[in-house]
Amino acid sequence: MLAPNDEDRRLSVVYKGIRHIAVESVPIPRIPGPASRVELLAAGICGSDVRYFEGHNPWALQTLGRDIPPPPNMILGHEICGYDRERNCRVAILAYKSCGRCPQCLQGSENRCSDMEHFGHSAGWPVMEYYPGGMAEEFEVWDGFAYEIPDSISNDAATFLDGLAVAVHACDV
């Protein structure tokens, strides 16, 4: 099990069970490998967040075709805008990291990777005390997966970039 960063605790929106979400002070989950620390500026609520609240696991159902219950202690949120102090800029994140080795990845369908780590979902992570998500005062995200946002995009508007990426990808398919 990856140990959380016990030095830092932040308020986070945590899935506890069916129709039970709590705001708790929890250790910041550590991301395996190089990571950036991001401070939350704005968060959107995705349909998948609502599905988790209802006790469903949309990632497992849509990617794996299996209805696996979501684990407790998952920090929700992947439609976020944050501030990367190290880079001194506002960022939006790419919420998943595919393995790059499975048949889906090798065919260019990284979004269908069954081994991906998915931020704001419990997917692909080893067993953790708390699973990483963006509805937290501060969080870690993989290096290279936080993209600078221009000043012309507001914090609130930046939370829609994840959904925009899904729509653009759908047009490419």
Please report the beta strands in the chain, taking only residues with DSSP state E, as ranges in sequence order. 5-17, 20-28, 35-43, 74-75, 80-84, 89-93, 96-97, 117-118, 138-142, 146-148
Question: How many C-alpha atoms does 98 have within 13 Å on its Cβ side?
Answer: 16
Domain of residue 21 covers: 5-172
- The domain total for the chain is 1
For residue 33, give the CATH number of its domain.
3.90.180.10
**What does the longest C-alpha to C-alpha distance in the chain come to?**
44
pLDDT tens for the 173 residues of the chain, in order: 445 445 689 999 999 999 999 999 999 999 888 999 999 999 999 999 999 999 998 877 777 777 888 889 999 999 999 999 999 999 999 998 999 999 999 998 887 887 888 888 877 788 889 999 999 999 999 999 999 999 999 999 999 998 887 777 677 76
